[in-house]
Structure 1
Amino acid sequence: MLKKVLKWSSISLLTIVIALALLPFLFKDKIKSKIIESINKNVNATVALEDVSLNLFKSFPKATVTLDKMSVINKAPFQGDTLVYSEKIDLKMSMMELLNGEKEPMTIQSIGTENTKINILFNKDGIGNYDIAIKKDANEINEKEKPFALSIQNYEVENLKFTYKDEASKMRMILDSINHEGTGNFEKEVLDLDTKTTAKVTFDMDKSNFMRNVPISLEAILGVDLKNSKYTFKENKALINQLPLNFNGSIQMAEKGQVYDLTFNTPSSDFKNFLGLIPSAYAGNLADVETSGKFEVKGKVKGNLSDTTVPTFDIEMLSNNASFKYKELPKSVKNISIDTHIVNETGLMNDTFVDLDKLTFAIDQDVFNSSAHIKNLTENPNIDAALNGVINLANVSKAYPVKLEKPLNGILRADVKTAFDMKSVENSQYQNIKNSGNINVTGFNYSGPEMAKPVSVSVADLSFNPSKINLNKLQAKTGKSDINVSGSLDNFYGFLFKNQILKGNFNLNSSLFEVADFMSPTTTTNEKGKKTSEQVKIPSFLDCTLTAKATTVIYDNLNLKNVAGTLIIRDQAVNLKGLNMAVFGGKIGVNGMVSTKNKVPTFDLDLGLSAVDISQTLTMLNTLKAIAPIADVINGKMNSTITLNGFLTQDMIPDVKSISGDLMGTILQGSLNKNKSALLTELDTKATFLDLNDINLKDVKAVLSFKNGKVAVKPFTLKHKDISVQIAGSHGFDQNMDYNLKFDVPVKYLGNDVNKLLAKVTPSDAKKIESVPVNAMMSGNFKSPKVTTDVQQASKNVASQLIQLQKEKLVQKGTGALSDLLGGNKPKSATDSTKTTTKEQVGNAVKEGLKGLFGKKKN
């Protein structure tokens, strides 16, 4: 009998399991159609749902319906904006709900979401993107036709990001990493809802940040009155950072907004509560802090929150004669007094004011005092503040656990008062700004990732007046460099509070300025954890003019002397004007632009070289060496004007492959050192008529243009003694070349054979072929050149011409002797006849003449 029971029990259990496994497939489409129906009937938006699944085992005996990747996309006037996106939504219900008829609603008992984003936006006209519900009359609403009904017992939200943005008020609030759960019987109209919430808060208003990823938490039992939409705080415990707060009172939903009637306070008055306000990343271990004195936070909020009003509120933060000391640190902060009020008495946001009547503290004998008052908070904030006191910066890290790579040093002295309103700052109406006092820093040392090398400031002295902040003196060193700066800032407050461009004019003097001391590429870490260096960027927030003088500037491998000029820094670029320097035994003037605005930095410069040493210039400047690689074998000086543009490398050095421009050069004096060049050595071998060691290059002029890695040399003529040559052609930055040289060579340089023939003609005939063209072709590359000439052919041509001249002369002489003979003229004597011709020559001439006269038959 037992066996039968077990057998049928097993079969029944197996049947149930199979049925439970098959049911999702049977009811999936039914559930999906109800969800789509419910959404479409109620919202005016584009809704997408990737998939719907049903699981009967996950929360047995309840069924779990999972909606995958659901999104709600707004229509006009927020066309294309995402209102809601949820990676996963779980709906839990009784399995019996699956058997309901088509017209019967399914009752949901629990809701859970994962990785959800909600974006609430208000445009400049005050219209919100959340209002997507289709408006219905009361007569249209029929409970029986609802696809779903709610009987919520609990709900859970995991990793929700809520963004609120109002374009009109320029306000943005983000609640990130929200994890929230609540338990209560929503079938009752009045219930207790047990909740737990954690999140991170960021709050900005008009480009000013008030909170950034501040952690908050709340454990609360809320009394919920569903009929009146009222939520009352009962037992609760809240933390803002590590500041504990208790709440009393209620929040009620109204037709337009919410009604607040709340009070709150710190449950204890220990000064540790103040340290709890500081983000935990900077506050250190509060468990090991010894404190004395009190710190209290209390406040009340009462009234309506609507589109036009806020509740009135009064928040106080008070402390008197408090102190704290971290056990692991040698110094304490004493005599701390805080008296702060944040108040709104009218319900209008602009009437909110902040009074920091007192904030004082002391470390050792150094005392620092400050106060500030802010009113007209939203329309035109008015700020009145004062700072007075001394801080030994080295003591900051000895009294408070500041995380620094290297400790600060130096003494800060301040005595400053300021009063201004934001509209005057925006409009540069300096007559409405009241500044006075000065700030002085001495012995300040700093090092950080944004600096290439540690900076040591011996003195920095600033004074404040209504229109400007004057930098009276800044003396600093970094690496090998020293700088002395003075000048003024025109709109410091616009830069500080309104993200405006920082404008100023400065004078800089330096005895030694090494550019590498200030060049530090930004290091970033990519998604795979690999560190990469980004291109050096000229700050986009600067618009200033710098008049500079430096005895020595070291840039790359160059030592520049007596550098002076003007640098205009604007729009992520430096405009160089009248920059002059002594280098390479002469001077160089620079005008132009260097820009880091685009992804790859660019430059566009005009250079003027005056009496510079040619070999040094071409050896030290890789850019020019690529343009004129042969020039480094020239000993001498030159003047040159160069225009060039292109890209810069990560080290802010011209990328040779990218440059283009023109070069015009004149050699003031110069000679060749052929032993430095394989090309000249090869040319010297092939062009034997040249003596390269004896060439004078004075006043030689050349014009080059370069682009896309090619250099074109316009034809120019070089003369050496009685030889001239026209040079033209091109070469690449890869050192491959294609040049033609056209020589005009006197025939006397073509060798002994030609000279022997030349000696046999008369001087007047020799003048007919004084010189001959010789062509030379240079190819290959500068390190392995190939030189060919037609000098042998030219020699042959000259020899042929000389022989031809001799023949013509002999014929002329022979014909004249025959004419004399036939005409009855006799030579005066044998001696005389030998002066003009030999017997053999006369005989040959006679023979040739007789052949011409008698060699033909008569007609």
Structure 2
Amino acid sequence: MSVQNCCYFCFMNWRKAFKIFKWVAGIVVSLMLLISALLLVFKDDIKSYALEEANKYLNKRVHIGFIDVGIWKSFPDLTLSFDDVLVYSKFDSIQTSDTAIFAKKIDLRLNPLDFFGSKLDVHRIDIEQAKLNLKILKNGSVNYDFLKPSEDNTVTPFEFNLKKINLKTTDFTYQNESTEQFYSAFFNTLEFQGSFNEKQFILNAQTQFDIKSIQSKSVRLIENKKAKCDISIQMDQINDVFEIISADLTINKLPFLIKGKVSSKTLDFYIGAKNLDLADVAKNFTLEELNVVDEINGQGKVNFELFIKGSNEKTASPAINATFDVKNGSLADQGFSLSQINLEGKYSNGVIDGKEQLSLSTLEFYTLNEKFTGNLLVADFDKPRLTGKADGLLDLKAIHRLFGPFSLQELSGSIALKGDFDLRLNNPKTNQKDITIYDLRATLDLQNISAQFIDDQRKLNISNGAITIRNQYAGITDLALSLDNSSLVLDGQFNNLADYFKGAGNLSVDANVTSEALNLDDLSTTNVEEVKTKSWILPNDIDGKIILSLNKVQYSGHQYTDIKGRMDFGRRQLSFPLIEGISATSKINGNLKITEEQPMYLVVETSLSSDAVNFKPLFEEWNNFDQTVITSENIRGRAAIQLNLKGPFDIYEEKILKEEFDVSARLKITDGALINVLPFKEITKSLKASGGKLVIARSKIDEFEKRLLNLQFDSFENEFTVKNGIITIPKMTINSNALDVNLSGTHSFDNDIDYSFDFRFREIKGSESSEFGDVLDDGTGFRIFLRMFGTIDEPKFSWDKEAKKVVKEEQREQAKDDLKSALKTGFGFNKKDSTIQDLKAKDKQEEKIIMDFGKDTIQDEFSPETKKKKKNALQRKIDAWKKENEEEKSTFEIE
């Protein structure tokens, strides 16, 4: 064939092919246009068919927001779209408002050519943004019986020949109240493929999802884990059996083997994993509450097997049994290491033997070069009963790292533990302190423990100490604690521990506390962001006493030394019937009671006495009592004092309610002196400025001022009272080198003053002499009455006429009485009148003051012999407990 003929032949074939293409394209376009036209014409009919068919097959009422039909977005498929599909939960005839199914969009895909036939064949379903909540009540009623049995064989326009089902972003929950099972998950993607209309077919499924929770009764088996699964299932609808052919399941990148079969009557599943790396298990499979860090360097292998077997009934729980072990494992992190970890355990939900329990028959490891062994049995998970043994050394840094943080930013040290335990947590979710002790015997030796709370600068240290526990009793010996600059040693016994912690009884205490240095400011929190709440401070459920022996105590800038006392516990009350100590070089003893009448509202009652209070160090210690008139530089002398005080303190508002104080103080001052007190200078200044300078020479006033500014007195006694915020000073006489003065008045806490005092005029002029010697004072003569009022910082002076009238009246009354007595004694007038006393010569009175400071009975509590006997008795009791703990054989060993 020539080239020309070849070209002609190719051209003719091309024209023929192009003509065929045009016909095909025309047919396709025409068909597409026809389908589009049919969609427009029959769109409403298709929607009606869809709703009609849904009502025929569905057992629940379906709420649909919008229905649409389209082809171009899913070409070549035709799509029937349902938006905002909602089905409420319905259990038999009981309708609820809870959601059973919700989907933002459901698409049914069909072949568009089905429009030319009698059937609309649905071969794919796509579901997006769905929620599926399946639930079974205790009576067996379910909310997922969505399909109802067909009542006839009427030919319908829809037929489901499904090949594929796709779900995207779907929330899923399943709850069985009868068997107490709960599962929840979130599926990012879930794809099913298979010939769903066949009686026997292979179903393939691929999914990526998040396991929110898998819970059996009270036990959460898995929580908040990422997973993916690729599974093939042999579906046999003839025999009502499906069996897993192959399954690849990974949870947090850990591979698991799955086998299983489900029939109409039984189910049988197996999930297992062999030789998992311990580090991966520690990172990915610890409960979230344990908060194990990802940086743990782990070695060793973990084996796990889970068996699920039982009847396939809605109200019957299958038997769940699991075994697991760790072989020759190790965990290490900065500052701690656990080596040679060996663990064997098993779990059963109790369907077979009626006992749900978790047992660790073997638990051993090495830490700090010492071995720890133990076992544990946990039963009754609603109210867990814990039974087991423990023997060995615990590294607290490892415990904090693995199981913490327990609100602590730091925890280190060790506890040597040996003991047996059998106890129950009655309310582990709501009240962890509610514990029942069946048998508890343990000895703990604490060494070099250091702890620091989060957002707290303080560090608590326990250098050493031993705690021996015998059921509800605990004995503590030589427990040495320190916090910042404070330290103490605790010895004693405590009774009724379990009842106390669960609020069923009072804690009984009999202890000794000794301390070389105790700063009470260290006990307050350093967390400035802590929210202040009004709550009770003092306990109402502690009985007993604590003997205190404190060498040095500091509080709010004040220092007390050599404090000895006994603290008794009461209901919202602490009482110190015996207390003594040294403050400002003065020894003080007495009693003290603190009562909390309302939350953080304390009432303090005390009776204190001292036979030698030195003014100068006292004023220095208390910062001159927040005043500048009389400071430590202005006062000398010492005093015997008996003080009775009752007053409230509002801790929440941080207020001392001084206006409500009720105080009486009996005071005797000896060898006293007031030096350069400015108000005294104001007195002489007032004399110079007033009419006094007309009758008193200026030199005499200056001489009087010198004596007044160096005022010295041998002794005086008085009793002061404080009520309604005012200090009341009854009338008293002060004999000094400057003058003898009568003084009385009031002084408020706001430093408002109102004093009255009087003295003889001649004491200002000074002593006079004659050729016969000094002129002696006969007690008569003109008296000056002054009033000092205003404030202590700016006093004002005036002549006190009212005081003068009172004194004159008293003198007149006294003169009358003296005259009557003289007439009765000398002349026999009114002898029968018993109200008139005989006139007697006045004896020279000698001042004699007796103050009762109480008997010093506190020394009996603190004598070395008493303390030694008490500690020896406690030690003998603790030694007996230890011996019993070692001799008694435990009755709950785990096989």
Identity value in percent: 10
Q: Which runs of 5+ in 2 are unaligned?
A: 1-43, 91-95, 111-121, 155-159, 693-704, 767-776, 808-895
- Code of the residue aligned with 2:412 in structure 1: it is L
Corresponding position of 1:520: 525
1:299 and 2:299 matched: no
1:777 to 752, 764, 789: 789
Matches within 5 A, 1:676-715: 682=682, 685-686=685-686, 691=708, 694=711, 698-706=716-724, 711-714=725-728
Deviation, structure 1 residue 479:
3.1
Deviation, structure 1 residue 455:
3.9
Deviation, structure 1 residue 222:
8.0
Q: Deviations over 1:773-801 (max 9, x none)?
A: 5444314xx44x241423699999x9xxx
Q: Do the aligned residues in 2 keep the contact of 1:441 with 1:461 (CA within 8 Å)?
A: yes
Corresponding position of 2:373: 369
Corresponding position of 2:754: 740
Q: Do the aligned residues in 1 keep the contact of 2:464 with 2:479 (CA within 8 Å)?
A: yes
Cα distance between partner residues in 1 of 2:733 and 2:504? 62
Deviation, structure 1 residue 237:
5.2
1:472 and 2:477 matched: yes
1:608 and 2:612 matched: no
2:444 to 439, 443, 450: 439
Corresponding position of 1:182: 190
Specify the SS of the correspondent of 2:476.
Answer: strand
Specify the SS of the correspondent of 2:454.
Answer: coil
Cα distance between partner residues in 2 of 1:418 and 1:278? 25
Specify the SS of the correspondent of 2:292.
Answer: helix
1:249 and 2:260 matched: yes
Q: Do the aligned residues in 1 keep the contact of 2:222 with 2:287 (CA within 8 Å)?
A: no
Matches within 5 A, 1:497-516: 503=507, 505=509, 506-516=511-521
Q: Deviations over 1:805-831 (max 9, x none)?
A: xxxxxxxxxxxxxxxxxxxxxxxxxxx
Deviation, structure 1 residue 395:
8.6
Cα distance between partner residues in 1 of 2:172 and 2:649? 46
TM-score when scaled to structure 2? 0.57
Q: Deviations over 1:221-275 (max 9, x none)?
A: 5869899999976765556667543433367999xxxx75322111545545653
Q: Which runs of 5+ in 1 are unaligned?
A: 1-26, 75-80, 97-106, 144-148, 524-530, 753-762, 799-859
Residues 298 and 136 (structure 1 numbering): CA distance in 2 closer, same or farther, change over 3 Å?
Answer: closer
Q: Deviations over 1:713-759 (max 9, x none)?
A: 3463243355434313644xxx4x5433344555657989xxxxxxx
Matches within 5 A, 1:196-345: 196-201=208-213, 215=225, 217-219=227-229, 221=231, 244-249=255-260, 261-266=268-273, 268-272=275-279, 274-275=281-282, 276-278=284-286, 281-285=291-295, 289-291=298-300, 294-303=301-310, 310-320=317-327, 322-324=328-330, 333-344=338-349
Corresponding position of 2:796: 787
Q: Do the aligned residues in 2 keep the contact of 1:366 with 1:391 (CA within 8 Å)?
A: no
Corresponding position of 1:845: none
Corresponding position of 1:195: 207
1:408 and 2:434 matched: no
Total equivalences in the alignment: 675
1:575 and 2:574 matched: yes
Deviation, structure 1 residue 340:
0.9
Q: Do the aligned residues in 2 keep the contact of 1:163 with 1:173 (CA within 8 Å)?
A: yes
Larger RCO, structures 1/2 (Cα 8 Å, 6+ apart): 2
2:387 to 384, 390, 394: 384
Q: Do the aligned residues in 2 keep the contact of 1:567 with 1:574 (CA within 8 Å)?
A: no
Specify the SS of the correspondent of 2:665.
Answer: strand
Residues 272 and 253 (structure 1 numbering): CA distance in 2 closer, same or farther, change over 3 Å?
Answer: farther
- Code of the residue aligned with 2:644 in structure 1: it is T
Specify the SS of the correspondent of 1:408.
Answer: strand
Corresponding position of 2:458: 453
Deviation, structure 1 residue 559:
1.6
Matches within 5 A, 1:499-648: 503=507, 505=509, 506-522=511-527, 543=542, 547=546, 548-567=548-567, 575-578=574-577, 580-582=579-581, 583-584=583-584, 585-587=586-588, 589=590, 591-593=592-594, 601-611=600-610, 612-613=613-614, 617=618, 620-621=621-622, 625=625, 635=636, 636-637=638-639, 638-648=641-651
2:363 to 359, 364, 375: 359
RMSD: 6.6
Cα distance between partner residues in 2 of 1:591 and 1:453? 30
Residues 290 and 205 (structure 1 numbering): CA distance in 2 closer, same or farther, change over 3 Å?
Answer: closer
Q: Do the aligned residues in 2 keep the contact of 1:640 with 1:664 (CA within 8 Å)?
A: yes
- Code of the residue aligned with 2:329 in structure 1: it is S
Cα distance between partner residues in 1 of 2:597 and 2:87? 41
Cα distance between partner residues in 2 of 1:615 and 1:56? 101
- Code of the residue aligned with 2:286 in structure 1: it is I
Specify the SS of the correspondent of 1:460.
Answer: strand
Deviation, structure 1 residue 674:
6.2
Cα distance between partner residues in 1 of 2:679 and 2:195? 98
Deviation, structure 1 residue 199:
4.2
Specify the SS of the correspondent of 2:716.
Answer: coil
Residues 90 and 634 (structure 1 numbering): CA distance in 2 closer, same or farther, change over 3 Å?
Answer: farther
Residues 283 and 772 (structure 1 numbering): CA distance in 2 closer, same or farther, change over 3 Å?
Answer: closer
Residues 55 and 134 (structure 1 numbering): CA distance in 2 closer, same or farther, change over 3 Å?
Answer: closer
Cα distance between partner residues in 2 of 1:659 and 1:251? 82
Cα distance between partner residues in 2 of 1:489 and 1:214? 43
Q: Do the aligned residues in 1 keep the contact of 2:342 with 2:362 (CA within 8 Å)?
A: yes
Cα distance between partner residues in 2 of 1:771 and 1:71? 106
Matches within 5 A, 1:413-432: 413-420=416-423, 432=438
Q: Deviations over 1:470-520 (max 9, x none)?
A: 223313444333322123344556688x69889452322222222244433
